[in-house]
Amino acid sequence: MKKILFVVSIFLLASNGVMAQKSTSSANEIVKTACADAKATDKNVLIIFHASWCKWCHKMENAINDSICKPLFDANYIVKYIAVEEAKEKIKLETPGGNALKTKYLGKGKGLPFWIILDGDGNLLADCLIREEGKTLKDNGQNMGCPASDEEVAMFVSILKSSSNLQASDLEIIAKRFKENAN
């Protein structure tokens, strides 16, 4: 019995060490690993910049991780979260380099959640910025954040359609769930 407890204790300590190591990964390391995983699995990467205090961040995470939506996202994306813009008392929750990475993708001062979609090579495919017609991903825009209004959800679904293998029926499920965020 003591041997079993010893082995379980070692396993738990090792697991906690891995978790602690993952929590200190830099934003660039998270993106690099996610892109490598995406390339190996023929998926894209959905990076969501969020904070513990952000109500809309929690709504977006809850929608993505909803039991009906999670399998759809997992089959098409490597989803990663990068903590940014935390309050002073929770600054340790921030992902090192997260704010700089958000700024790189035109997210400085844009609020949260802020999200991007990358391909396996790290190329920006889409983001949450609403731009005037004719503008490109290099142009600034207004942050949609967590899609909730009919217009935002339609734009989000359009982005998902163009950056995944999600079928129309899958996109309808996702749209319905995200529209619940408006309530």
Residues 59-76: pLDDT tens digits? Answer: 999 999 999 999 999 999
**Range 11-32 average pLDDT:** 62
- The whole-number pLDDT of residue 2 equals 47
| pLDDT tens string 42-57 | 999 999 999 999 999 9
Is residue 29 in some structural domain? no
What is the number of structural domains in the chain?
1
Distance CA(144)–CA(30), nearest Å, equals 23
Is residue 46 in some structural domain? yes
Q: Is the pTM of this model over 0.85?
A: yes
- The whole-number pLDDT of residue 154 equals 98
Quick one: tokens of 120? 């396996």
- CATH assignment of the domain containing 80: 3.40.30.10
Is residue 33 in some structural domain? no
Is residue 130 in some structural domain? yes
Is residue 19 in some structural domain? no
14: enclosing H helix or E strand: helix 2-23
Instruction: State yes or no: pLDDT of 21 exceeds 80.
Output: no
Is residue 1 in some structural domain? no
Distance CA(1)–CA(8), nearest Å, equals 11
Is residue 162 in some structural domain? yes
Distance CA(139)–CA(51), nearest Å, equals 25
Instruction: State yes or no: pLDDT of 20 exceeds 60.
Output: no
Sheet bearing 44-50, strands edge to edge: 77-83, 44-50, 114-118, 124-127
User: Contact at 8 Å (CB) between 50 and 112?
Assistant: yes
| pLDDT tens string 122-177 | 999 999 999 999 999 999 999 999 999 999 999 999 999 999 999 999 999 999 99
User: Which residue did the predictor score with more confidence, 16 or 122?
Assistant: 122
Structural domain containing residue 102: 41-182
The count of C-alpha atoms lying within 13 angstroms of the C-alpha of 165, restricted to the half-sphere facing its C-beta, is: 9
150's CB contacts (< 8 A; 6+ apart) are 179
| pLDDT tens string 96-135 | 999 999 999 999 999 999 999 999 999 999 999 999 999 9
Distance CA(35)–CA(176), nearest Å, equals 29
